[in-house]
Amino acid sequence: MAVTRRKRFSVTKAIVFLVLGILFVTQVYPLLWLLLYSLKSNEEILSGSFFALPHSPQWANYSAALEGNYFRYLLNSIFVTSVTMIAVIILSSLCAYAISRFRWRFGGAVMVVFLIGMMIPMQATLLPLMIIFKNMHILNTHLSIILPYVAFSMPIAIFILSGFMKTIPHEIEESAVVDGAGIGRIFSSIILPISVPPVMTVCILTFINIWNEYILAATFISSEKLKTLPFGVNSFVSQYSVNYGAIGAFLVLGALPVIIIYFLLADKITQGMVAGAVKG
């Protein structure tokens, strides 16, 4: 009987490790491939040997990437992402607080409206937004991409934050009211500090999504001074030639901040995603 259980356990464990190994390879391999791609010459890349190691690492590709207005695009991405994250945290936390903690008739309906926003594809809004922003005279400005970024990031942020805030005991707020605290004080001094784990999750998810976004930036931004990192890749494509190695190096440099931040704060993501479920 014990032998049978050991065999079952071993088989189950082997299957789990196999699945995890496959997931690890599928997630890590594209990053390794991109790193090798960035160290190849155009001839090696165009030869079709995608899996081969570079004969001689082309570190000049990284020099070309840095010279291609990388730092300007980096600052633009940092500015746009930071403003978006601050706006999303403030607005979504206030909305989540009102939906989850206030007792009012239309709280559930408002939540459904925000959840519907998660189902709207970004591509379906490009033409209407183009017309609206043109009439508002904000095309080719950072505001024209920050506004859609905030709008598309808020539904998932409200979903995460409201799910956590519902698990906070109401006795905490009742005690604060007895002590004379108002709604603003309760939110800023009690609810928001308690909600740090899901807030960190929202920050990281928003950062990753906005940092890598290309479609809206390519549609609404045309000025060289305002381009963000993903859209800056086009700088290495001219009418008669393409510097593929520099593009690879540029993509590596663009993905590096996201990878570093994700690994540094991976525990925060897990804690924030499961916090509400554990307390519930």
- Spell out the alpha helix ranges (H) of the chain: 2-38, 42-46, 60-67, 70-101, 107-117, 126-136, 143-165, 170-178, 183-186, 192-194, 196-211, 215-220, 229-232, 244-264, 266-279
Q: Which two tokens stand for residue 66?
A: 């840095």
Range of the domain at 114: 75-278
In a domain? residue 129: yes
Percentage of residues of the chain with pLDDT beyond 90: 25
CATH no. for residue 229? 1.10.3720.10
Residue 280's pLDDT is what? 42
Residues 196 and 274 sit within 8 Å (Cβ to Cβ): no
In a domain? residue 60: no
pLDDT digits (tens, 9 = 90+) for 32-50: 888 888 888 888 888 877 6
Number of domains in the chain: 1
In a domain? residue 82: yes
Give me the residues of the chain with pLDDT under 70, please: 1-9, 50, 239-240, 266, 268-280
In a domain? residue 34: no
Residue 278's pLDDT is what? 45
In a domain? residue 266: yes
Give the pTM. Answer: 0.82
In a domain? residue 1: no
pLDDT digits (tens, 9 = 90+) for 120-133: 888 888 999 999 99
Residues 157 and 200 sit within 8 Å (Cβ to Cβ): no
In a domain? residue 210: yes
In a domain? residue 183: yes
